[in-house]
Structure 1
Amino acid sequence: MSVQSGALSRSRRAVKRPLLDVVAEVLLAQPGASLAEVAEAAGISRTTLHKHYATRDELVRAVGVRATDIWEQAVDRVADKPGTEAGLRELLAAMIESGPQLAFLWRNPVLDGDHELIQRYIDVENRCLAVLDRARKQGLLAASTPDWWLLQTMHALVYTAAEAVHDGKLAPLDAPDLALRTLLHGLGARGVQEASA
């Protein structure tokens, strides 16, 4: 995700958001940001930040844990629903809304050595795949599509939609529908698809 230099604009700082969400955005935009810069972007003192997280590693892990929690909650919302378009849209909407946190999780190699987070990541990814597989069994997604491609495509759509919302290119309410249409139908014109079938 791209965040303006200065980490966050004043207008965004005015909205009270959880500290770890601000940290995710700052570290995505400026991976080398100091704890002082992170604290400033969050509107708190460095001392206050250190009271909660003594080291940068602790802070990064806390953001990773929060991102994983959010991802699990997004999947929980649709876990018991059949593989319907509405269920897929709901999953995409929840994940797009959590875009900065998920982007932090997906793009942060520092977390690759955390075995507990890796296991949780694998578990939630498998749960996402179960949702996609139900949609595949309902005929919404091509049966021949490999599992890894389904997951990577969904991740790419979530990431791109969340970034477009963040940058003001896409309205938040339109993002899940655009991502869902692209997941289900790709970018080809229907006439072209029908002619080649």
Structure 2
Amino acid sequence: MSARTRTRRDSAAALHDAALLDIAAEVLVADPSAPLSEVAWAAGIGRTTLHKHYATRDDLLRAVAHRALDRWEQVVAAADRAESDDGGLRALVEAMVPIGPQLAFLWRNPIFDHVEEIGRRWQRVESQALAVLKRAQGRGVMRADVADFWLLHAFHSLVYVAAESVGSGHLAPRDAPDLVVETFLRGLGPPQPST
């Protein structure tokens, strides 16, 4: 087998593996106690095939967590590079809502609180996301007196709810970024009268 053929097959296997992990995240967010047979069925593979990839449930959970972190790191890095008046805020929302199931998998699983490697990656990507939010603050897009922890957690909460609402059909995917940004920047109070 040539190096070129091997690279193409390796890429195809990685793509298949990534799709499997994304499907696993969706299944496990919908039902955290779902058996591996349900994950395999949703992915269109047999349970034996799933076990060839991930010998135990714990192996699968860690792989799904790392895949979610990979995707989160990618979207935060892209938003960090965005050139916009809002410092990349909208770009961050637009990128995070579609990966809602992966983020929900991370955010709703307390088992990862004790996995050092995942914790380090999580802190690093949260710091990068906070840097985007702080840049938006610095550009006057939002109040400067909001504490970092509140800024980050309020933002994550809105992204989480938007992604859940898109998943349940209550919110159109195209409407989600506008609703998140508007709620994040202006809240839910009545519009301020123009002067």
Q: TM-score range by the shorter chain?
A: 0.7 to 0.9
Which residue in 2 is equivalent to 1:115?
116
User: CA shift at 1:112, angstroms?
Assistant: 1.5
User: CA shift at 1:80, angstroms?
Assistant: 2.8
Runs of 4+ in 1 over 6 A off after TM superposition: none
Aligned letter for 1:176? P
Aligned letter for 1:142? R
Q: Secondary structure of 2:192's partner?
A: helix
| C-alpha RMSD of the superposition | 1.8
Q: Note if contact 1:23-1:42 (Cα within 8 Å) is conserved in structure 2.
A: yes
**Is structure 2 residue 60 aligned with structure 1 residue 59?**
yes
Structure 1 residue runs of 5 or longer lacking an equivalent are 1-15
- 1:1-197 residue pairs with structure 2 within 5 A? 18-81=19-82, 84-85=85-86, 87-191=88-192
Q: Secondary structure of 1:18's partner?
A: helix
- Return the alpha-carbon distance in structure 2 between the equivalents of residues 133 and 57 of structure 1: 36
1:127-164 CA-partner distances (Å, limit 9, x unpaired): 11110101111111111100001101111111000011
Aligned letter for 1:138? R
User: CA shift at 1:85, angstroms?
Assistant: 2.9
Aligned letter for 1:66? R
Q: Note if contact 1:83-1:135 (Cα within 8 Å) is conserved in structure 2.
A: no
User: CA shift at 1:60, angstroms?
Assistant: 0.2
User: CA shift at 1:41, angstroms?
Assistant: 1.7
Aligned letter for 2:25? A
Structure 2 residue runs of 5 or longer lacking an equivalent are 1-15
Tell me whether 108-117 or 175-184 shows the greater mean CA deviation. Answer: 108-117
Which residue in 2 is equivalent to 1:8?
none
Aligned letter for 2:54? Y
- Return the alpha-carbon distance in structure 2 between the equivalents of residues 93 and 68 of structure 1: 17
Aligned length: 179
Q: Secondary structure of 1:191's partner?
A: coil
Q: Note if contact 2:86-2:139 (Cα within 8 Å) is conserved in structure 1.
A: no
- Return the alpha-carbon distance in structure 2 between the equivalents of residues 83 and 56 of structure 1: 42
- Return the alpha-carbon distance in structure 2 between the equivalents of residues 29 and 76 of structure 1: 28
Q: Secondary structure of 1:178's partner?
A: helix
Aligned letter for 2:95? A
Q: Note if contact 2:40-2:46 (Cα within 8 Å) is conserved in structure 1.
A: yes
1:21-43 CA-partner distances (Å, limit 9, x unpaired): 11111111111111112111221
User: CA shift at 1:82, angstroms?
Assistant: 5.3
Tell me whether 79-88 or 153-162 shows the greater mean CA deviation. Answer: 79-88
